[in-house]
Structure 1
Amino acid sequence: MQKDLVVKKRTSTKSRLLKRYEELLERIEDIQASRRNLEEGLRVAIPRIQSQIRPLLTDRDHLIRKRLFRLDELADEFGIGKHERGYFQEFMTEQAAEVLDRVGFGDMELGELFEKYAGEPLKSDAKVLAPIAQRFRDEFGIDIDVQEMLDVGVDNFLNEHGEEIRKKQAEKQEAKDAEDLKNFDPAAKQKVSRQQRAMLQDARAIYLRLVKKYHPDRETDEAARIRKTELIQQITSVYEESDFLTLLKLQIELLEEEEMDAKTLAEDMLKRYTRILQKQLDEIQQEVSYLKFTNKWLFENFFGFDGKFNERRFKRFRKMVREEIERTQRDLNDSKQRREGWFRDWIKGIKAYQQETAD
């Protein structure tokens, strides 16, 4: 009777180190997918946002700015009671600051309006923006004029220079990829990093060990030889695909229980490559974080957590801004038809809103 090949697997549970290695691989795969989604989403979304959203936002901010000056004009004309004056000043200060933040500090008239109600000039975020400008210079060779960023607003600045930034990002990645092909000579021994060399050596050691144990040539039983042949094909395929983790798993699962040095070898390898993977993960996360930062407004409003452009969010946002424009325009028209009544209604609304938010 033919004797079946029995592949003895370790019955012990996964080590914490192996679990950590697998988790890192999974996280790297997820965040790489997120980066690809975000890059593709930006490529598709930016032209549409430039043509369909940006003009609407400009119109909206223009109308809000116009309403602030209308409120200021009527406040001077009709006056404000002492019980409402504090609420009105706080509201005008906050609203002027918000609009300035969007349209930029270069709007001198709006800056003066802010100062009128705040009692002091609006302080710019030059100290906050300086490190950002330095990072652009260091990473992409782009000289950022901090004052220009302040004058036009951070979002507007990143939008206006977005194409240049993305081009520099792409050039940097292409240069990084091309470095591996620099002075390539098929006949020459290729240079690899110490980490890559160690991984190649470890993978080969595992491969040779498994092949030696399960090579079918000396197997006399036909069924067992077929099974060993299939197993060797699997091992060879994994090795040729440089699937290091699967090789480690095969070593742990297929070698005999008494071969304790196999486990020790695998654990030593895992320690090394867990550190390597953690470094890779940190680098990719930094790239994704930077990509999100340079497109912060876009990402917050038009992308999902997976980094994909969300068509529903886009349409909802566009509809919301259009409705806000229509409401604000109607409100401004109302301010011309019933000037004092409109102003008094706003004073009541501002007081109620400020009291509510203060609670």
Structure 2
Amino acid sequence: MAKKKPVTPKPQLVHIPALSTNNPLLGKAQKEFNRLTKRIAKLESEVHEFREAATRLRQRVQNEYRPLQARHNDERANLVRLLDHALDTYKLTKGERNKILDLILDGFIDLLDHGHPELQPIFDKYAPPLSPEEDAQADREIAEAMKEMFSANFGIEFEPDADVSTQAKFQAYVQQKMAQQQALHAEEAAEEEAQQQARRATRKKTPKQQAAEDKKQAEEKNITKSVRALYMDLVKALHPDREPDEAEKIRKTELLKQVTTAYEANELLTLLRLQLELNRIDQSHLENLAEDQLRYYNKLLREQAGELEGALYEEQQELSQFSGQPFYLLSSPVALEYAFQRQQAQLEVKIKQLAAEVLAFEHDPAALKAFLKTHRLPRKGQQHIMIRL
């Protein structure tokens, strides 16, 4: 009988119970407290599960998808060789030859950077390298186009004698200019902030504004005191130097690290969980929290929920950039698995189709001619969209 996968223990539930003897009805702040603690627990679980799923996906991409991509490129390389052979041996019309040349030069040139540098002679055969003069002219034209783009998009002014003749020199020049821009913007922003602070300092506040500011400062001070009180209580309970038992000392040391991390991150819920776990407080303590105390707690809990939502969004965005998949396809572990299986299945179909086409084209020129009928050459002056076979 297969062993069951161990279940990860759920964190301590932190909520204010309704309909208890001492608290038959929950107040607005108490309901908000329960809603936020439940929301945070859900977000923590979602972030944890998504990170684990994303790690598994990255491993599967390396172990399963990358080898498929290599096989796909191998079949594409076989097709390049066959098309080269067809140009040399098959009886083709001028239009068919032009289409094959277009396919080779625009549809497969990326293979040189994807494991098939041995194809370079074929590409050179149909598109000989530029002469030194032509190469230099092409570099100048590219540099001018890049200068126009960076000037329009980033406001970079290129000095007449700026040496941007190579890609490395161009990048170095742009980075230097952008660093100068950022330093200038930072200096201007600091000066503006200083001026605003000076204006605020000299501007006389109305009694209402002063009262609101005093209230905000007092609230922030009380929030800091509330969290620090929880932290100090747990530090006293977990101080390892007071523990004679070595095993318990190690456990308390680890718990103290969690407490310190949670305190530094303002994770109120984690501190409350540890207090409940260590019997420093009980549910009746939560029931009897004063309205002001609950308000302070709720403010911190809202911030904690917002940070978790941001963390989940960042994980999804990072995975979207890694996988090249749209953000909306990566919203959950189930969605990750579906997107991966779909992409993997599509690539496997492409590989089988390419292998069959290479075999057919090799033994039947008519099959190649039929395929070429479906390929359209770009119109004169029209930008070519690279074909990925």
Please tell me the TM-score bracket, short chain as reference: 0.3 to 0.5
TM value normalised by structure 1: 0.45
